[in-house]
Amino acid sequence: MPAAGTVLVTGATGKTGRHLVPQLLDAGTDVRAMVRNPVTAQLPAGVDVVRGDLTEPDTLHAALDGVDSVFLLWPMFSAEGAPAVVDAIARHARRVVYLSAMADAGGARPDGFWGRIEELIEAAGLEWTFLRAGGFAGNTFGWAEQIRTEGVVRWPYGAAARSLIHEADIAAVAAATLTTDGHAGRSYALTGPEAVTQAEQVRIIGEAVGRTVRWDEPTPAEAREMLLSQWGDSGYVDAALDAWAAMVERPEPVTTAVQDVTGRPARTFRQWAVDHADTFRSRPA
């Protein structure tokens, strides 16, 4: 039975949100999109676009007024401010679907701010569904400049195997859990349909673009220096390097949650690369 009421989508102009909004519309759902700047949102006709900012909890009450369900995407790397946001949601809405992070395929709660926000949602008494996504295929956009300009990706741990997920599949699961019953109190570990090494990902992107793209692997020490210059946070860099090193021997798990919820298999990384090939193509001078 479809879930009634208006759905508020946070992060509506992001990678996942831009897939989720039209899917909800196609399901016949009343959609309200909360964005920082409604003038530049460029969302489909029929969407109620309102201003709101998760970093400014006082802006949320107008956006939440009359809303039944919320798709929550947390844009920060800490839980600072999250208690006020969850409290505002609980005052207005009945249920929330929260895009969290996968700790493992067995359903463990993730560490860090992802897990903290899950705890806040549970304590608020909301009907909840947690979408614990693994690695996003869209993270490989970080290689785009190297591919466009040099035809090479210099990155560590080419043998690390990841089950990256297409953002459209995250949106499809979100749409299903927001518009149909039976998902309250459930958490889903979301991945792509196969584990693909980072070096293979680069090769697949090259095939989608129509050019050979080479993998160039630095030593771990060189990689750490390179990533520190890009990211700045030594703790984050070391955690990433440790995670990729572990995935060489233990690839990221693969789950069937996308198919279980939506009724169709998750899209492959190759499909993602074809869908986004223009981002990796050389641009005219």
pLDDT in tens, 58-78: 899 999 999 999 999 999 888
Provide the token pair at 279. 């981002």
pLDDT of amino acid 114: 93
pLDDT of amino acid 106: 78
pLDDT of amino acid 77: 82
pLDDT tens, position by position, 192-224: 999 999 999 999 999 999 999 999 999 999 999
Say which DSSP state 125 is in.
Answer: T
CATH 3.40.50.720 placement within the chain: 6-133, 138-162+193-254+265-280
pLDDT of amino acid 264: 96
Provide the token pair at 260. 């279980």
Q: Which CATH superfamily is domain 6-133 in?
A: NAD(P)-binding Rossmann-like Domain (3.40.50.720)
SS3 state of residue 41: coil
CATH topology of domain 138-162+193-254+265-280: Rossmann fold (3.40.50)
Q: Which of 114, 118, 144, 120 is nearest to 129 (CA)?
A: 118
Provide the token pair at 89. 């949601």
Sign of the C-alpha dihedral computed for residues 229, 230, 236 and 240 taken in this order: negative
pTM of the predicted model as reported, rounded to 2 decimal places: 0.93
Which positions ≥6 away from 100 have C-beta within 8 Å?
110, 114, 115, 117, 118, 130, 131, 132, 133, 187
Residue 1 has pLDDT above 70, yes or no: no
Residue 3 has pLDDT above 80, yes or no: no
The lowest-confidence range among 103-112, 234-243, 244-253 is 103-112
- Around 284, how many Cα atoms within 13 Å sit in the side-chain half-sphere? 0
pLDDT tens, position by position, 121-137: 999 999 999 999 999 99
Assign 32 a pLDDT band (cuts: 50, 70, 90).
very high
Secondary structure element (H or E) that encloses residue 116, with its range: helix 112-123
Provide the token pair at 84. 């006020």
